[in-house]
Amino acid sequence: MSDEMASTAITLPSASDPTRRASGLGRVGSFLRGSEENAWRWSARVASLIPLVGLAFVLTVLAIKAWPAIRVNGFGFLSRSTWNPGSTYAAPVKTSGVLHPVGSSYGAWPLIAGTLQTSVIALIVALPISLGTAFALTEHLPRWLSRPISFFVEILAGIPSVIIGLWGVLTLGPFLAKHVYPFISNNIPNVPFLRYFKGNVGYGEGLLTSGLVLGLMIVPIIASTARDLFMQVPPLPKEGAEALGMTEAEVARRVTIPWVRSGLIGATVLGLGRALGETIAVAMISGSILGAVSPNVYGTMTTIAATIVSQLDSAATDGTGFAIATLAEAGLVLAVISVVVNVIARGIVNRTSKHLAPVGKS
Amino acid sequence: MAALIFVIGPSIWLIADVVIRALPHWQWSVLTTVPVGVGGGLENAILGTLVIMVGVLLIAGTVGILTGIHFAELQRLRRSGKAGGNFLRTATEVLAGFPSIVLGYVGYIALCVGLHWGFSLLPALIVLSIMVTPYIAKSTESALRQVPTNYREGAEALGMATGYALRKVVIKSALPGIVTGLLIALAIAVGETAPLLYTAGITNNLPSLSLIHQPIAYLTYYVWTDYNQPILATRYLSYDAALILIALVLVLLVSSRLLVNRTQRYSEGRR
């Protein structure tokens, strides 16, 4: 028996050489195998740097392009409410060494206010819907119900935002303006705080409709993150609560949600980040006016992203390039807000998720 | 629960609305003619969108998959064993939520104007790829993480090098998840307007194969520009473009779903 074992021990290929294979090409094979590993490592390393390089490139170009406008517009840019390209017929003047048309004065306050207002409305609308959807997806619903539900959430995530904007401005807006808004506007008491909801409802283009549609668009993000979080809640506390006599709603409210509370905050902030950057749907539904904050919840307004997309063409007619630089400044404000919000959100979500093992589950 | 009505209802309303608007005036010639005068067809836009889709698949697919591989497999582990929270990954995830118009603006300033490429295919591809790569990287990474450790350990026990094991074992088993991520990212890229408005321009011609100096058409432009034109024929063009877009996106999403269902049937550890 020991002879057998000794003979088999000699004829086995050496297991210590990690690049040998029983039927390989010998030395060429092992060289190729080794360099394949290096090829993978290095190409993966280079590839993973590309998003970072892209992000840095974008922020740098924005900052460089916006610098002349920052020098002239100053800090008042964030609080002024005008949008005056100035007179393009007169000769341009120089302020702080920057050439710009006479009388040009830009203020981004309506843009910033519009962005924040629509995002807040979107969050208020999206949060209950997303949480409800996430709960529905994590309970043991029958197969024929849970599959379509998650498919619809996926569809909602994948539908192009132009089409959602198209639906919002052509169908949903007029529908709400004819049937829902007058009801609200006529029946709200004339109290100082609620007076914001009274006003001429127009045709549906405006703040409230934009906020509603934006909320619909961020539901998939919050819902899928919330669903992943809810699945991580261990069943024992939930079953214990149910054994103590709590109803399903109470279990959800008192056990599940507090368990993943900071993760939910992270998911909400993620949705907020998406809502801040949404361009096309809001540009179509908001009316894209310049220079004024909406006086009530139905009025038209604009956001930073919507302004950039609608004003870039006419900004190119400003020969001094100052209008384009101002748009770059507005874009820089939006980019910085978006990066900060996303970093905070990812930090919160990552901190509360499970500590992942380095490779897959065993 | 009631929340589901607010998800399913608007989705169905949305799709039904586009179909109702587009279908009564649909002509099959829309697929085979280019825009002529105020009406015409959308052949240039359909082909343009497909060309952009293939280009994004090539560029963002390569970069995204390699990035996902880097995050999931080849990164040196930190001492605590925690997978998240390093600089590269944060940058990639931040890019996922970035406003698309700002990317389009930068593409316009730096590539179309700065490098004098004009409205053309390459700036559009670059900007769209930057936008879509984080999604592909994320889904590739999670697909790779789902491959059981046993496979990797078995491969190493058999004496395979890391790169070889990756190619023959790990990626093969993660392939459905990777392809699903690619399909979803393509659906996102197809539906984007803002980055393309100022990098790809618009043209009535069919897409040529030149990468720069030659603008290219895409479907979302027509939806964005023509929905409130006073002439009915142009508005119908916009609705038709919306219909084709929805059909394209649904095809991509449904096939990714079918792929997931089919592979769950054969994989271990299915629920």
Q: How confident is the model over A292-330, as pLDDT tens digits?
A: 888 888 888 888 988 888 888 888 887 788 888 889 999
* Chain A residues inside the 8 Å CB shell of B18: 163, 166-167
Burial class (CB in 10 A: 0-12, 13-18, 19+), B130: buried
The minimal CB distance from B4 to the residues A19, A51, A132 is found for: A132
Please report whether residue A77 resides in a domain: no
Q: How far is it, in rounded angstroms, from Cα B106 to Cα A76? A: 24
B9 touches chain A (CB under 8 A): no
Mean pLDDT on B169-182 = 86
Interface test with B, best of A50, A127, A222 (most B CBs within 10 A): A50
Q: Decide if pLDDT at A92 tops 70.
A: yes
Residues A191 and A340 in one domain: yes
Q: How far is it, in rounded angstroms, from Cα A298 to Cα A284? A: 15
Average pLDDT, chain B: 84
| Domain total in chain A | 2
Q: How far is it, in rounded angstroms, from Cα B88 to Cα A350? A: 14
Please report whether residue B205 resides in a domain: yes
Please report whether residue B121 resides in a domain: yes
Residues A36 and A156 in one domain: no
Residue B57: the pLDDT is 94
Sequence-distant (6+) residues with CB within 8 A of A222 are: A126, A127, A130, A131, A134, A267, A268, A270, A271
| Distances A78 to A96, A232, A240, A326 between C-alpha atoms, Å | 19, 42, 53, 12
Please report whether residue A38 resides in a domain: yes
Please report whether residue B237 resides in a domain: yes
Q: How far is it, in rounded angstroms, from Cα B184 to Cα B182? A: 6
Q: Decide if pLDDT at A361 tops 60.
A: no
Residues A140 and A195 in one domain: yes
Please report whether residue A273 resides in a domain: yes
Structure tokens at A152: 């619809």
Residues A151 and A31 in one domain: no
pTM score: 0.83
Pick the last residue of a domain from A64, A79, A97. A64
A166 touches chain B (CB under 8 A): yes
Q: How far is it, in rounded angstroms, from Cα B17 to Cα B182? A: 28
Using alpha carbons, select from A329, A306, A8 the residue that is nearest to residue A169: A306
Q: Do residue B85 and residue A154 have CB atoms under 8 angstroms apart? A: no
Reported as a single tens digit per residue, the pLDDT across A154-178 is: 888 888 999 999 999 888 888 888 8
Q: Decide if pLDDT at B261 tops 60.
A: yes
Sequence-distant (6+) residues with CB within 8 A of B242 are: A162, A163, A166, B18, B21, B22, B223
Using alpha carbons, select from A44, A354, A361, A228 the residue that is nearest to residue B147: A361
Residue A262: domain span: 105-352
Contact at 8 Å (CB) between A280 and A309?
yes
A122 touches chain B (CB under 8 A): no
Task: Give residue B76's pLDDT band: very low, low, confident or very high (50, 70, 90).
Answer: low
* Chain B residues inside the 8 Å CB shell of A356: 82-84, 145
The torsion region of residue A291 among left (phi > 0), alpha (psi -120 to 50) and beta comes to left
* Chain B residues inside the 8 Å CB shell of A357: 81, 83, 149
Please report whether residue B153 resides in a domain: yes
Residues A239 and A144 in one domain: yes
Residue A27: the pLDDT is 67
Among B34-48, B76-90, B150-164, B220-234, the range scoring the smallest mean pLDDT is B76-90
- In sign, the C-alpha dihedral spanning B126, B128, B134, B139 is negative
Residues A45 and A172 in one domain: no
Reported as a single tens digit per residue, the pLDDT across A222-254 is: 888 888 888 888 888 888 888 888 887 777 788
- What kind and span of H or E run contains A93? strand A93-95
Sequence-distant (6+) residues with CB within 8 A of B246 are: A159, A160, A163, B15, B18, B19
B259 touches chain A (CB under 8 A): no
Identify residue B217 by its one-letter amino acid code: A
Residue B245: domain span: 52-76+83-263
Q: How far separated are the first and last CA of chain A, in Å rounded?
A: 37
Strand pairing partners for A93?
A100
Please report whether residue A192 resides in a domain: yes
Please report whether residue B226 resides in a domain: yes
Residues A50 and A138 in one domain: no
The CATH number assigned to the domain holding B174 equals 1.10.3720.10
Helix (H, G, I), strand (E, B) or coil at A53: helix
Residues A45 and A161 in one domain: no
Share of residues in chain A with pLDDT > 90 (%): 13
Please report whether residue B43 resides in a domain: no
Please report whether residue B8 resides in a domain: no
Identify residue A169 by its one-letter amino acid code: V
Residue B132: the pLDDT is 92
Q: Do residue A327 and residue B66 have CB atoms under 8 angstroms apart? A: no
Residue A154: the pLDDT is 84
Q: Do residue A44 and residue B69 have CB atoms under 8 angstroms apart? A: yes
Indicate if ipTM > 0.90. no
Please report whether residue B187 resides in a domain: yes
| Domain total in chain B | 1
Mean pLDDT on B62-72 = 89
Using alpha carbons, select from B219, B239, B217 the residue that is nearest to residue B227: B239
Residues A144 and A270 in one domain: yes
- In sign, the C-alpha dihedral spanning A224, A226, A227, A231 is positive
B50 touches chain A (CB under 8 A): no
Reported as a single tens digit per residue, the pLDDT across B98-138 is: 899 999 999 999 988 888 888 889 999 999 999 999 989 98
Q: Do residue A153 and residue B192 have CB atoms under 8 angstroms apart? A: no
The CATH number assigned to the domain holding A327 equals 1.10.3720.10
Using alpha carbons, select from A272, A168, A309 the residue that is nearest to residue B193: A309
Residue B116: the pLDDT is 87
Residue A1: the pLDDT is 46
